[in-house]
Structure 1
Amino acid sequence: MNDVLRPSPWQVVHSERIVADRWIDLRADTCIDAQGRTISPYYVLEPADWVTVLALDENDRAIALEEYRHGAGVVGLGLVGGAVDEGEDPRDAALRELREETGCMAAEIIDLGSTWANWGNQTNRSHHFLARGCRRVADQSLDDTEMIVVRTEDLEDLGARLEQSYHLLTWLKAMNHLRAERAS
């Protein structure tokens, strides 16, 4: 077992931008691994970081969104979320997305940490937040491609209905935070 090579970063010997526009930033790398093997092309997506927010209203009901998701071709139930603009703090992005998608402001926002979105072939992180005491203060301010219905859901039951992995992870992190808070 001691003779096993340890994982190590690949050496990128060439990188080529395949496409970069408002929807996707994709490059193809030529890499050499620790055993000297060439891996080419290895495609890497370079999206902006993302935020996901489990928002609770003043009655501790979850604010969920019903929205069409073209990649999967489904109308699904999800959480508030979106991209972090260049130079923007993830906390500010979470509050901005909450206001844009729901028209709500939060009395409190709690940073639940971040995770890699998909570390196999993406460079971005997903930042998870819990927003409490949310109340509607404005109309939605949606992007041109968004059509979102805002709903309130039972917090405990919501997790079983979320089908997007990082939305579910945000719900799990928020539930762990709330349970720990109640226990102390």
Structure 2
Amino acid sequence: MSNHTPTPWTVIGSRTVVSDRWIHLRADDCRDDRGHEIAPYYVLEPADWISVLAITTDGDAVIVEEYRHGAGVVALGTIGGAVEEGESALAAARRELREETGYAAGELIDLGATWANFGNHSNRVHHFLATGCVPTGERSLDDSEAIAVHLMPLEAAGPQLEQSYHLLTWYLARDVLARRGRA
């Protein structure tokens, strides 16, 4: 067993591999503190993401179902999306809730942020709980989105969430709701 204390690598070179509206990928040439070269090391640089577990005034979870091309599956999930440039995570959560579901929240609670995948992503996922949600109007989906909205009991929702950070949002939200005596 090694007791070598990890330290950040030194980046000795970096180049953009691809950059468009969907992805920004860079390749770093790195050196660790023992002189080992790690090159290329690929890093995805997406915008920060939000994940919102929405709860209606009746206590049901608002869950979305959509096709996820990376895995090639249609899956249930929390409301989510990218934080746009110049937008706060809170504003993105409010916007994505309205756009994807047509609902608005009575209260939006910041549950904290986690790294999306700190092995090779530079972004964070901002988790939110939206309570007192009510339908307020039309959804505004992107051209590439086909989203079905489902209402289900909160406890039934969690076991159906297969994306890791969606499930984490559910756990964090349950803790807040339990402290408030609502779970």
TM-score (norm 2): 0.97
Cross-structure match for 1:75: 74
Task: Tell me what 1:31 maps to.
Answer: 30
Q: Percent identity?
A: 58
Is 1:172 equivalent to 2:154 in the alignment?
A: no
> Are 1:93 and 2:84 an aligned pair?
no
* Map of 2:147 onto structure 1: 148
SS at match of 2:180: helix
Give 2:33's aligned amino acid.
A
Whole-Å Cα distance in 1 between the matches of residues 174 and 40 of structure 2?
A: 41
CA drift at 1:160 = 0.5
Partner of 1:4: 3
Give the Cα separation in 2 of the matches to 1:180 and 1:168. 19
Match of 1:65 in 2: 64
Gaps of 5+ in 2: none
Give 1:176 shift.
1.0
Residue by residue over 1:54-105, the C-alpha shift from the partner in whole angstroms, topping out at 9 and shown as x without a partner, is 0001101000011011111111111100000011110000000000001111
Unaligned 5+ segments in structure 1 are none
Where does structure 1 differ by over 2 angstroms across 4 or more consecutive aligned residues?
A: none
Deviation at 1:157, TM superposition (A): 1.4
Are positions 1:112 and 2:107 aligned together? no
* Equivalent in the alignment of 2:128: 129
SS in 2 for 1:109: strand
Query: Helix, strand or coil for the counterpart of 2:181?
Result: helix
Q: Paired residue for 2:156?
A: 157
| CA drift at 1:13 | 0.4
- The letter for the 2-side match of 1:23 is W
Q: The residue matched to 2:47 in structure 1 has which SS?
A: coil
Aligned to 1:132, the other structure's residue is in SS state strand
Structure-1 separation of matches of 2:115 and 2:30 = 21
Q: How many residues align?
A: 182
Within 1, Cα distance between the matches of 2:77 and 2:106?
Answer: 21
**Structure 2 letter corresponding to 1:67:** E
Deviation at 1:182, TM superposition (A): 1.8
TM-score normalised by the chain length of structure 1:
0.96
Q: Distance in 1 between matches of 2:51 and 2:30?
A: 33
Could you give the per-residue CA deviations for residues 18-72 of structure 1, whole angstroms, max 9, x where no partner exists? 0000111000000000111000010000000000000001101000011011111
Aligned to 1:19: 18
Secondary structure in 2 aligned to 1:92? helix
Distance in 1 (CA, whole Å) between partners of 2:35 and 2:144 is: 45
